[in-house]
Amino acid sequence: MIKAVRGTRDLLPPETALWNFVEATVREVFRAYNFQEIRTPIFEETQLFARGVGEETDIVSKEMYTWEDRGRAASEKGQSLTLRPENTAGVVRAYIEHKLGDRGLNKLYYIGPQFRRERPQKGRYRQFYQIGAEVIGPASSGSDKPVRDAEILEMLATLLDRLGIRNWNLEINSVGNAQERVAFNDALRKALEPVAASMCADCQRRATTNPLRVLDCKVPEDQPIIEKLPRITDYLQEESTRHFADVRALLESAGVPFQVNPRLVRGLDYYTRTAFEFTHGALGAQNAILGGGRYDGLSEALGGPPAPGIGFAMGEDRLVLALQEQTPNIVKAPDAYIAPMGAGTNQAAIGLAKALRQAGLVIDLGDESFRLKKSFETASKLGARFILIVGENEVRSGEFALKNLATGEQTTVPRAELAAKLQAS
RNA sequence: GUGGGAGUAGCUCAACCGGCAGAGCACCGGACUGUGGCUCCGGAUGUUGCGGGUUCGAUUCCCGUCUCCCACCCCA
């Protein structure tokens, strides 16, 4: 038997209804903040991710689906292509390519699949879905202002509330600009040298490979050491410090609860200044539901004009998982099940079904060969509110037997009044 | 990529020391030929993930492999 490949999966009803609910809510909320949708290709030149996300990140160095495309001529070497591992690089590429800044398109959102070749785990798949938004534009558009950061965070808090996600937690930090990050990294490396040997095995390795990750260590014995390590906030210059302070003040004005987490670091190279993460308790080790931050130098890194920006990516798989644990299914049951009965009654039934559907009702239809008992069983199983019997008697008289399956009440209704009757009750 | 656990009917899971592969739910038919849910009777479930090995005999023991789950690395 051929099965879905490792790390991919089929989304089946009724779960798909939850996905549609999430996406519809996202579109509605984002629209209120004047974001518009962008759809970028699912694969891009490998170089885009190498330069945009960072050569040294795990994503680029070992988690991408990359292949060499066929050259146009037999002698020509094909270009290296990659299934997108995230969507920000693609959006910024499109921003540059179509000069979106000049067209005033500064607020964009996307919903779609991304691909990373990781070991699958709950809430972590090789084809996974992300919802994200980016505010990007020339500095003159205000895209570098603290109010943009606060506005996006407030939008996310509103979205999670609207989705009915309870117990989310927002942590923010500032990781500084490019120069400040380098200075902090050096200081951290130096501070770790004498103490690393007394830390856990993971930290000993991180101390040289990725000092920022040491701050993320959860081993209790290491905490006293980590407390004494330099903090990023000590390495922020006046401008970054003020930016961060402004963001915090604006969040308070907007009524968005948050915690400053000086240890919050982000994995992708392009992040600057504000970094944030929303977490949710019920997701195990994969507790981050969305994360993001500012990326003021990304456009230049990709050969574009200066265009400060801020954005986030939300794991839709995990969002749905969190919702499933707290909400029952939301599929709307059919309003009526139509049961034709007797040779030729299908003809009347299909026309009737069409008319009722056009009136906005959800209608399912049986077949004239079914015994009435089977039709009742099916209607009950589907959870239909009513069963409408289209037998030979009904077709002849133009009046139909309509039974409320919950109350058992049955009435005879003329064809012209069926839609109104079903809508009213 | 690393470590551990698990894969048996559509679903949830049993099967003792290696001896005919089972139950509940769901499904189909009937009791009831124009009235569901409840009840009763009957029925079909299957490459025991896949491939190999040991054995008279393997769901069971061994090896390999695939997938899922948990954790690590990393990250949304």
Domains located in chain A, CATH noted: 15-177+237-324 (3.30.930.10), 336-424 (3.40.50.800)
Q: Which nucleotide is nearest to A405 (CA to C1')?
A: B36
Mean pLDDT for A26-35 is: 97
Angle (deg, nearest 10), helices A178-195 and A201-209:
140
Q: Which nucleotide is nearest to A288 (CA to C1')?
A: B76
DSSP A69: P
Specify which residue's alpha carbon is closest to the C1' of nucleotide B72.
Answer: A202
User: Cα(A225)–Cα(A196) distance, rounded to whole angstroms?
Assistant: 9
pLDDT tens column, A162-200: 998 888 999 999 988 888 888 888 888 888 888 887 887
Pick the most confident of A73-82, A265-274, A305-314: A305-314
pLDDT band at A328 (very low <50, low <70, confident <90, very high): low
Supply the pLDDT for residue A12.
87
Specify which residue's alpha carbon is closest to the C1' of nucleotide B37.
Answer: A380
Lowest mean pLDDT among A72-86, A132-146, A234-248: A72-86
Alpha-helix residue ranges (DSSP H) falling in A104-177: 146-163
- Tokens 């109010």 belong to A147
* CB distance A82 to A46 below 8 Å: yes
Report chain A's mean pLDDT, rounded to a whole number.
Answer: 89
Distance A121 CA to B71 C1' (A): 10
Distance A12 CA to B10 C1' (A): 14
A10's CB contacts (< 8 A; 6+ apart) are A4
Q: Which nucleotide is nearest to A315 (CA to C1')?
A: B76
| Three-class secondary structure of residue A204 per DSSP | helix
Question: Which nucleotides of chain B have an atom under 7 angstroms from any protein CB?
Answer: 1-3, 27-30, 32-37, 47, 66-76
pLDDT tens column, A114-127: 999 988 888 889 99
Burial (CB count within 10 angstroms: exposed 0-12, middle 13-18, buried 19+), residue A337: buried
Distance A15 CA to B29 C1' (A): 32
User: Cα(A235)–Cα(A180) distance, rounded to whole angstroms?
Assistant: 6
Q: Smallest Cα–Cα separation from A110: which of A127, A130, A136?
A: A130
Distance A20 CA to B66 C1' (A): 32
User: Cα(A248)–Cα(A174) distance, rounded to whole angstroms?
Assistant: 11
Q: Smallest Cα–Cα separation from A111: which of A91, A90, A131?
A: A131
- The angle formed by the CA atoms of residues A262, A265 and A269, to the nearest 5 degrees, is 145
Distance A255 CA to B72 C1' (A): 38
Burial (CB count within 10 angstroms: exposed 0-12, middle 13-18, buried 19+), residue A38: buried
Pick the most confident of A159-168, A270-279, A394-403: A394-403
Q: Which nucleotide is nearest to A116 (CA to C1')?
A: B75
Q: Which nucleotide is nearest to A375 (CA to C1')?
A: B36
Mean pLDDT for A251-260 is: 96
DSSP A57: S
pLDDT tens column, A258-274: 999 888 877 677 788 99
Lowest mean pLDDT among A225-239, A338-352, A403-417: A225-239
Distance A381 CA to B26 C1' (A): 12
Q: Which nucleotide is nearest to A123 (CA to C1')?
A: B76
Contacts of A417-422 with C-beta under 8 Å, sequence gap 24+, read: A418/A352, A418/A355, A418/A356, A418/A388, A419/A355, A419/A356, A419/A359, A419/A361, A422/A335, A422/A336, A422/A356, A422/A359, A422/A361, A422/A385, A422/A386
Supply the pLDDT for residue A267.
67
